[in-house]
Amino acid sequence: MHILHLDSAITGDASVSRQLTADIVARLKDANPGATVTYRDLNEGVPAIDTDWFVGVRVGTENPTPEQKAHLDASNAYLKEVQDADVLVIGLPIYNFTLTAQLKNWLDQIARAGVSFRYTAEGPEGLLTGKRAYIAYAAAGTPIGSEIDFASDYIRHMLGFLGITDVTFVPADGLAMDREAGMARARAALEKIAA
């Protein structure tokens, strides 16, 4: 088993989502002693897509500029990490009712027509199949699945669009109102992983 471990919280050691992703990875490694891990902290920076990215990555060109080549190399690196993984463990801290900009940038980098998904006569088909994802959802005041949660359905949809349909959430929500209850929900979800 190879695990891709992704964090994106801006709060450093105080981050609940970082704590949860570490706990998920530890449980997976306990259940699979030979498991390997690739770690990426998206908070260190994931370039947003722009016109140079579009030309260099999506359109392609015979004579790319250095900037366009850098975009292609970075996008390929993000995508290869996903392709090589059996399991993704993704930290999903909620800021302003949705996912972090860094995590959105990462999704934009790996969502590539003809590479991670393709269009068919029956509609889009994800090409990153055969993988599982565990999502560490952490929110001070946005209950998971509520009408003000614009993150959990989105990330489930995006992963499914890319072919990753086996998605499990480990939610620690309502932390600002009742931290103990929110963490208890997360611990209960953790107990089911690799059980």
pLDDT of the residue at 110: 97
3.40.50.720, 3.40.50.2000, 3.40.640.10, 3.40.50.360: CATH of 2-45+79-99+122-191: 3.40.50.360
What is the average pLDDT value for the chain, to the nearest integer? 94
User: Is the alpha carbon torsion for 169, 10, 131, 145 positive or negative?
Assistant: positive
Cα–Cα distance, 17 to 92 (Å, whole number):
6
pLDDT of the residue at 57: 87
- Which letter does DSSP use for residue 134 in this model? E
pLDDT of the residue at 60: 74
75 annotated to a ligand binding site: no
Which whole number is the average pLDDT over 94-114?
96
Write out pLDDT tens, residues 170-191: 999 989 999 999 999 999 999 9
DSSP 29-78: HHHSTT-EEEEEEGGG--PPP-HHHIIIIII--SS--HHHHHHHHHHHHH
pLDDT of the residue at 61: 67
17 annotated to a ligand binding site: yes
Residue spans of the domains in the chain: they are 2-45+79-99+122-191
Write out pLDDT tens, residues 114-141: 999 999 999 999 999 999 999 999 999 9
> What percentage of the chain has pLDDT greater than the value 90?
86
What are the Cα distances from residue 74, in Å, to 11, 31, 46, 63? Answer: 25, 32, 9, 17
Beta bridge partner(s), residue 166: 132
What are the Cα distances from residue 187, in Å, to 30, 85, 87? Answer: 16, 25, 20
Is residue 195 scored above 60 in pLDDT?
no
Cα 194 to chain center, whole Å? 19
Cα–Cα distance, 191 to 170 (Å, whole number):
10
What are the Cα distances from residue 183, in Å, to 19, 64, 110? Answer: 11, 49, 31
Is residue 55 scored above 90 in pLDDT?
no
Residue 48's pLDDT band (boundaries 50, 70, 90)? very high
146 annotated to a ligand binding site: no
